[in-house]
Structure 1
Amino acid sequence: MYPTLLALHSWVRWLVLASLLLAIFTAYKGWFTNKTFTRTDNSIRNIATSLAHIQILLGLFLYYLSPLTTYFLHYFKDAVHQREFRFFGMEHSSVMFLALVLITIGSSKVKRLTTDKEKFKTMAIWFTIGLILIFSSIPWAFSPLVHRPYFRVFW
């Protein structure tokens, strides 16, 4: 089960990134061109937020199944001084959770706003901050600190 969830988490990451980039592009375009906030724009916002929530749920399941985080939780005093264990046991999960909170707040604010420009502006700002946090905490394949492959296989 763990390898399947890990692969799924790895693949859904790309859906989250793509949907957030689309939402941010849509938001900035609408904000700067005074576009009307349409049902399509709202759907893009909703899909990006929903995919981020799905990803965090997969991540929470992984957190409790992962041998890395199990070691981190059981041997905290030693593990906190080891980059890989600290990253997955504390840093990755905390920053990703914060990013999800910011994206959710932004999405929720958009629903309550009345003017189109404010909707686009709010979505642009909150989603951009969330995406920057996500980018900073993904274990990219090129990272010299903690790295993982871009795509994991399901077997």
Structure 2
Amino acid sequence: MYNLILPLHSLIRWLVLISLLVAIFRSYQGWLGRKAYSKFDENLRQSTVSIIHVQFVLGLWLYAVSPITTWFIHHFSEGVRLREIRFFGMEHITMMFIAVAIITVGSSKAKRQVTDRDKFRTQAIWLTIGLLVILSSIPWAFSPLVHRPWLRGF
């Protein structure tokens, strides 16, 4: 199962990033350009949050079956002193949980705003904060601390 979920989680991260970037771009464009909040914007908001939730569920599933996190849980006192093990056992999941919560709350708040400008503004601010948290917690291929390939094969 691990060999299927890990590449899927790696692939969907790109969908998360692309959908977030598009939603954020449209949000700032609508907010600063005083545009109307269209059905496309509403669908984009919903689909972005849905993709993020699918990725989060896959991440939780991956956490449950990963040999790294299993080792971390069973050897916690030693695992917290090892950078890579601690990152996947504790830091990554915590930060991603925070990011998902921020994005979900922001999406919900944006949906409840009355004016189009307020919808765009709320969405832009909350999604940007969520994206920054996500970007800080992805094990990028170029990271000197913890790195993984850009894309994993099945």
- Partner of residue 60, structure 2: 60
Q: Are 1:43 and 2:36 counterparts?
A: no
- Partner of residue 87, structure 1: 87
Residue 3 of structure 1 deviates from its aligned partner by: 1.0
| Letter aligned with residue 135 of structure 2 | F
- Partner of residue 6, structure 1: 6
| Letter aligned with residue 109 of structure 1 | K
| Letter aligned with residue 100 of structure 1 | V
| Letter aligned with residue 91 of structure 1 | E
Cα distance between partner residues in 2 of 1:53 and 1:85: 24
Runs of 4+ in 1 over 4 A off after TM superposition: none
Partner-residue secondary structure (3-state), 2:36: coil
Residue 30 of structure 1 deviates from its aligned partner by: 0.1
| Letter aligned with residue 8 of structure 1 | L
Taking only the aligned residue pairs, the percentage that are identical comes to: 57
Residues 14-50 of structure 1: CA distance to partner in whole angstroms, max 9, x if unpaired? 0000000000000000000100001000111111100
- Partner of residue 96, structure 2: 96
- Partner of residue 124, structure 1: 124
Partner-residue secondary structure (3-state), 1:146: coil
Cα distance between partner residues in 2 of 1:71 and 1:96: 20
Residues 67-105 of structure 1: CA distance to partner in whole angstroms, max 9, x if unpaired? 000011000000000001100000000000100000000
Residue 110 of structure 1 deviates from its aligned partner by: 1.1
Cα distance between partner residues in 2 of 1:59 and 1:25: 26
| Letter aligned with residue 81 of structure 2 | H
| Letter aligned with residue 18 of structure 1 | I
Cα distance between partner residues in 2 of 1:30 and 1:112: 17
- Partner of residue 111, structure 1: 111
Residues 112-142 of structure 1: CA distance to partner in whole angstroms, max 9, x if unpaired? 1110000000000000000000000000000
* 5+ residue gaps, structure 2: none
Aligned residues: 154
- Partner of residue 76, structure 1: 76
Pairwise CA RMSD of aligned residues?
0.4
| Letter aligned with residue 35 of structure 1 | K
* 5+ residue gaps, structure 1: none
Q: Give the TM-score of the pair, scaled to structure 1.
A: 0.99
- Partner of residue 25, structure 2: 25
Q: Give the TM-score of the pair, scaled to structure 2.
A: 0.99
